[in-house]
Structure formats: C-alpha cells, structure tokens
Amino acid sequence: MTEQAGYLKSLKSESVVQRVINCLTDAMVNKELKPGDKLPTEPELAAAFGVARTSVREATKILTYMGVLESRRSEGTFVASGFQESMIDPMVYGIILNQGEDFQSLIELRELTEVGILRLAIKKQSREGLDLIRQRLEEFEAAAAREGDVLEAVFQADNNFHDAVSALCQNSLVDKINRVVRMLTYAVRHDTVETMLTTGRVHELIQAHWRIYEVLSDKTEAGLEEIIHNTYFLDANAD
C-alpha cells in the first residue's frame, strides 16, 4: 500500500488478536473505516500491523461473527452496512452466563428498558397501535379464563402484549433490545405467570397490564417506574 491509514499501526505483543480487533473497531468509530468499506487484504493488514496473518484472520473472523464485518466470497471483507442481530449475541451469552450471580442487575436492566420503552411509546403511539394493545389484553384475559392447563397460552399472551407495546416505539433497534431483555428474563417471567395462575392471582397480573394500557392511552408519564415495577410480582418468585 502506498499510503498507510492511521489505524494500520504496529501492535505490541500483548493479546495480539484483541489488539487487532481494537484497532479495527477504533477505525470504525473514528470513521476511518465506514459502513461498506472494503478492508485491506489479510497480508496487507498483517504487514501494516506487524503481526502474523493468523492473528489478522482470527480477529476478522471474530468481528464477522459479531456482525461488524461481512465476508463476501471472491470479493473480500467489508465493514457491515447496518445493524445485524448477531451483533448482540456475545452480550446475550455473557449475561446468560453471569445472570445467576447478579439477578438484581438483570431485573434493573429489565425495568430500565421497559420504562424507557413506555416513555417512547407514549410519545410515538398511534391509534392503530393502541387498538392492537387492547386486543392483546383481551386475548390475555381470554387465555386466562380457559379451563385446563393454560400456562403456555397465558405466557404467550403476555409476550404478545409486550411486543405490541414495543412496536409502538416505531424503532427497530429498541424492538431488538426489548426482545433480548425479555429473552434473558424468560425463566423468571415464566415462573411468575405460573405462580400467579396456581395461586389464583392472575387477575392481579392482568390488571397491572391494563394499567400500562391506561398510561399509554392517557399519555401520562408520571409514576412509570412504579407502574412497571408493579408488573413484576417478584414476591411470586420468592422461595
């Protein structure tokens, strides 16, 4: 290469692969590498960084897995042009592995996310969206009123309700983050619904969700934190 880009600097020996990753991601943050840009070839990067080609190959593989880079056969490696689901996979796995040690942090993340979603939904809501949420609530009630084993039907109705609230935000990134947080809290949410059903308290769960609908309908932001917190029924999961 005739002119060496700023991010193509020599690396020290410590954690070579990670340092290659850091240099490439720094270049993206600094706009030296932009979405759609083609990376130099593996030999060129290795020579510029002063590292082995295997280190460059491993670094680009990791960034490709994370969705930051994309490899096109016979064309080369490019900076991804937009958000991809795989970008959040490593974060998800890390939280899953650690959540047993820090359950409270996970609950706080869920509360922070849901309050933020509700605030945005209040600002960007539509009549059509509100009608869908009301429909989801009615389906929630209908599922709970059935005879027999209704756990999975009620749990799915609860998920459908929250997906409808998230959809009001009209923001695909917010919707993806919401789905990740709800996936991470799957077990505790499932246990809560099961306990509320078996102890005859499902009406409390439904009423808490009606309160969310009322807040959206009235466009009232006061006390959102308490309203969201009151939908968790954490006591239902106590030993």
pLDDT at 39: 94
The pLDDT tens digits of the residues spanning 31-82 come to 899 989 999 999 999 999 999 999 999 889 888 877 788 888 889 999 988 7
| pLDDT reading at 214 higher than 80 | yes
Residue 144 neighbours by CB under 8 Å, 6+ apart: 150, 154, 157, 197, 202, 203, 206
In a domain, 174, yes or no: yes
Rounded CA gap, 95 and 109, in Å? 11
- How much is the pLDDT for 155? 93
Distance CA(108)–CA(232), nearest Å, equals 11
| Mean predicted lDDT score pLDDT of the chain | 84
Mean pLDDT of 162-167: 93
Give residue 13's pLDDT. Answer: 42
Task: Give the per-residue pLDDT at 40.
Answer: 93
Residue type, 30: N
pLDDT of residue 167 exceeding 90, the answer is: yes
Asked if residue 107 and residue 60 are part of one domain, the reply reads no
Query: What's the total number of domains in the chain?
Result: 2
* 129-151 average pLDDT score: 94
In the numeric block, the tokens 């002119």 are attached to 3
User: Residue with structure tokens 């954690």?
Assistant: 15
| 38-42: long-range pairs with CB below 8 Å, 24+ | 38/75, 38/76, 38/77, 38/78, 39/69, 39/76, 39/77, 39/78, 39/79, 40/1, 40/8, 41/76
Same domain, residue pair 36 and 116: no
Both 198 and 128 in a single domain?
A: yes
Statement to judge: residues 100 and 58 lie in one domain: no
pLDDT at 4: 58
pLDDT at 161 > cutoff 50: yes
For residue 72, the enclosing domain spans 16-82
Q: Is residue 49 part of a domain?
A: yes
Is the pLDDT at 211 greater than 90, yes or no? Answer: yes
Q: Which residues of 147-177 are buried (b: 16+ CB within 10 A; e: fewer)?
A: eeebeebbbebbbbbbbbbbbbbebeebbbb
Asked if residue 37 is part of any domain, the answer here is yes
Question: What number is the average pLDDT over the span 92-98?
Answer: 58
119 with 225, same domain?
yes
Spatial separation of the C-alpha atoms in residues 165 and 212, rounded to whole Å: 9
Q: Do residues 69 and 176 both lie within one domain?
A: no
Say whether both 205 and 114 belong to one domain. Answer: yes
C-alpha torsion sign, points 189, 194, 197, 200: negative
Domain of 27, CATH number, reads 1.10.10.10
Q: Residue 165 maps to which CATH number?
A: 1.20.120.530
Position of tokens 């990376």? 39
